[in-house]
């Protein structure tokens, strides 16, 4: 696990470099998916710059590459990218109401926490924010299937912090009933050929591999969902 932590610091060290926003943009879709899957149940991906596809075209982001796998599997879902660069878990909690109301997803995938770890924010607050987002989702009728993507904290904050940060995702998934996706940048973080020149954000090849990592778990979730 320490190797994963070491890779994680490369990711979180510049997650906020691309900036945050108080006026969150509306969720985005690859235009090809939007046109071909109109009316299909949605998979809403709430996330950071890693989800937003910072530095690459939205069609090359990992949610768009996930859509390709969904289509190939013959599953009728459309993926909606609601990533915002620089956002913390507190930010995603603040915008959760209007995004959920706008999309009313069949599946909610939450990718958050990298910017919390960068800033050394309290892991228990991260957990509370994750559970807060999921609580808002559960209030929808019908409520979406919940999926949580694990993130890792930078090791320079100390073993106690990184262990607690790691444990928060397992606890939040268990307490909310969400399915947990392991660190989806495993095998990507720290690999020059899979990242942009900043060494942080995946390039198109890295984003495609990230989609493959997420798909290992999401494929089972989608096949088992009503």
What would the mean pLDDT of 66-93 be, rounded to a whole number? 97
pLDDT of residue 27: 55
What would the mean pLDDT of 27-44 be, rounded to a whole number? 67
pLDDT above 90: residue 25:
no
Which listed residue (30, 42, 49, 64) is catalytic? 49
Query: Is 211 within 8 Å of 65 (Cβ atoms)?
Result: yes
Q: What is the per-residue pLDDT across 129-148, written as a single tens digit (0 to 9) for each?
A: 999 999 999 999 999 999 99
Q: Is 49 among the residues known to form the active site?
A: yes
Alpha-carbon span 175 to 128, nearest angstrom: 11
pLDDT of residue 225: 79
pLDDT of residue 37: 64
Alpha-carbon span 149 to 173, nearest angstrom: 9
Q: Is 104 among the residues known to form the active site?
A: no
pLDDT above 60: residue 32:
no
Give the contacts of 124 (CB within 8 A, at least 6 positions apart): 164, 168
Q: What is the per-residue pLDDT across 154-173, written as a single tens digit (0 to 9) for each?
A: 888 999 999 999 999 999 99
pLDDT of residue 18: 42
Query: Is 132 within 8 Å of 91 (Cβ atoms)?
Result: no
Q: Is 198 among the residues known to form the active site?
A: yes
pLDDT of residue 12: 44
What would the mean pLDDT of 10-35 be, rounded to a whole number? 46
Where is average pLDDT lowest: 24-33, 96-105, 124-133, 206-215? 24-33
β-sheet with 42-47: strand ranges across: 78-83, 42-47, 107-111, 145-149, 179-181
pLDDT above 60: residue 196:
yes
What would the mean pLDDT of 84-89 be, rounded to a whole number? 96
CATH, domain range 2-224: 3.40.50.1110
Which listed residue (42, 89, 201, 208) is catalytic? 201
**Strand pairing partners for 58?**
none
């Amino acid at each position: 696990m320490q190797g994963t932590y070491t890779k994680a610091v490369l990711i979180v060290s510049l997650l906020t470099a691309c900036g945050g926003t108080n006026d969150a943009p509306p969720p985005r879709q690859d235009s090809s998916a939007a046109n071909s899957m109109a009316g299909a149940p949605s998979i809403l991906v709430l996330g950071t710059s890693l989800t937003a596809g910072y530095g690459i075209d939205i069609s090359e982001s990992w949610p768009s590459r996930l859509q390709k796998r969904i289509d190939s599997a013959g599953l009728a879902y459309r993926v909606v990218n609601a990533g915002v660069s620089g956002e913390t878990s507190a930010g995603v909690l603040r915008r959760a109401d209007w995004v959920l109301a706008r999309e009313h997803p069949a599946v909610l995938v939450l990718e958050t926490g990298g910017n919390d770890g960068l800033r050394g924010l309290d892991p228990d607050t991260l957990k509370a924010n994750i559970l807060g987002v999921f609580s808002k989702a559960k209030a929808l009728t019908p409520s979406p299937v919940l999926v949580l993507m694990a993130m890792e904290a930078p090791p320079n904050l100390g073993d106690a912090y990184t262990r607690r940060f790691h444990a928060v995702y397992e606890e939040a998934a268990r307490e909310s009933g969400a399915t947990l996706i392991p660190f989806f940048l495993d095998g990507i973080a720290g690999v020059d050929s899979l990242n942009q020149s900043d060494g942080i954000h995946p390039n198109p090849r890295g984003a495609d591999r990230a989609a493959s990592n997420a798909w290992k778990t999401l494929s089972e979730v989608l096949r088992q969902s009503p």
